[in-house]
Structure 1
Amino acid sequence: MYLSSEVKKEIFKKHGGSETNTGSTEGQIALFTHRINHLTQHLKANRKDFNTERSLVKLVGKRRSLLDYLKKKDIEKYRSLIKELNIRK
């Protein structure tokens, strides 16, 4: 499986402060970004997988709403996270 518990712990440790802080906004955005990148690679190989395409669109929407929340709360964290994760906006 592409997203093992070790990978999740590493993502949350890097972006959320600790590996048990799974509710942090930065950690959730990083996890969504990891999943979005994986699904994008899958869709490049499987163009007609419309269920995966729908779930990708939903994930992007969730990440966008979390990014908007972070932007309102702390603009500096927002800017650094976008730069670190290579998100376009």
Structure 2
Amino acid sequence: MLWEEVRETHLNKWVVIEAIDAYSDNNYRIIHDIAVIDYFDDSMEAFHRHSELHKQNPNRELYFFHTSRKKLDVEEIKWTGLSKI
């Protein structure tokens, strides 16, 4: 599914999505194909669902966005700090 289709299908919602087809280019993730996992009216509900799914499987490429956003411009941030020791 394309972001435009997600926006049309879930008007004014917070959506938890998984990137199915994505690649990196100039420090941005370019996401072509999306699966909608869940959708909410409240941002905190979307955040909690995203966190829950990420804990279950940290290798999935999950995001949450509001569908008022016209473009998915996901900037990649390189983590250089320490994780849990």
On whether the aligned pair clears a TM of 0.5, the verdict is no
> TM class by shorter-chain length?
0.3 to 0.5
More strand by share: 2
- TM-score normalised by length of structure 1: 0.31
Structure with the larger RCO, 1 or 2 (CA within 8 Å, 6+ apart): 2
- TM-score normalised by length of structure 2: 0.32
